[in-house]
Amino acid sequence: PRKAPDILQIVHCSLEDLYKGKTKRIKITKQVLNSDGFSTRKESKILTFPIKRGFKKGTKIRFENEGDQAQGVIPADVVFEIEEQPHHIFQRDSNNLIYTPNISLKEALSGSVIEVKTLDDRILRIPLNDIVHPNYSISVTGEGMPLSKNPEQRGDLIIKPNIVFPRFLDNYQKEMIKKLLP
């Protein structure tokens, strides 16, 4: 008998779920052969599977032969594919998390502390002691996404400050800047 083609279902996951891990329960409805071997009936079933810490977009979880049954056909596999939902603070780049906070020109030139709320609700205080230029980034080791093969290890948090320039300076402020800057 031939095997029916896979049934692919997208599973939308938040970045928090992919960071912390979660158990998903998804109800499927399929055709099941009756005892006569010809007719079928609809049957519902809950498939349960772990969203492991660090899973990436495109990760597939396969349930063999859980698709529709029919005479002379091997049931299809049901395949769930992870789709990562956009996050309002972080962007994911493989195992790294990218954070792009706004800082003022004054903070870029004179230093600042950036506070970052992590996906597990900790607050990191990252000092900016260097002069922050437009392509500046700072990396915080081990504060990114867990590695799915080894969740005790994590990627990095990469902070790329966005410098917000003032919209207006009066003549006095312009003169002061000319005196202060080389």
Domain residue extents for the chain: 2-84, 90-166
| pTM of the predicted structure, to 2 decimals | 0.84
- Residue 117: pLDDT band (50, 70, 90) is very high
- Residue 38: pLDDT band (50, 70, 90) is confident
Average pLDDT over residues 130-140: 94
Helix then strand count (H, E) for the chain reads 3, 17
| One CATH from 3.30.1050.10, 2.40.50.140, 3.40.50.300, 2.60.260.20 for 2-84 | 2.60.260.20
Please tell me the least confidently modeled range out of 7-16, 62-71, 92-101, 136-145. Answer: 62-71
pLDDT at 37: 81
- Residue 171: pLDDT band (50, 70, 90) is very high
Contacts of 77 (CB under 8 A, 6+ apart): 6, 7, 62, 63, 64, 65, 66, 67
Mean pLDDT estimate for the chain:
94
Q: In this model, does residue 85 exceed pLDDT 90?
A: yes
Please report, rounded to a whole number, the percentage of residues in the chain having pLDDT higher than 90: 83
Contact between 30 and 66 (Cβ < 8 Å): yes
Q: In this model, does residue 168 exceed pLDDT 90?
A: yes
pLDDT at 166: 92
Query: CATH homologous superfamily for 90-166?
Result: Urease metallochaperone UreE, N-terminal domain (2.60.260.20)
Q: Are 2-84 and 90-166 in the same CATH fold?
A: yes
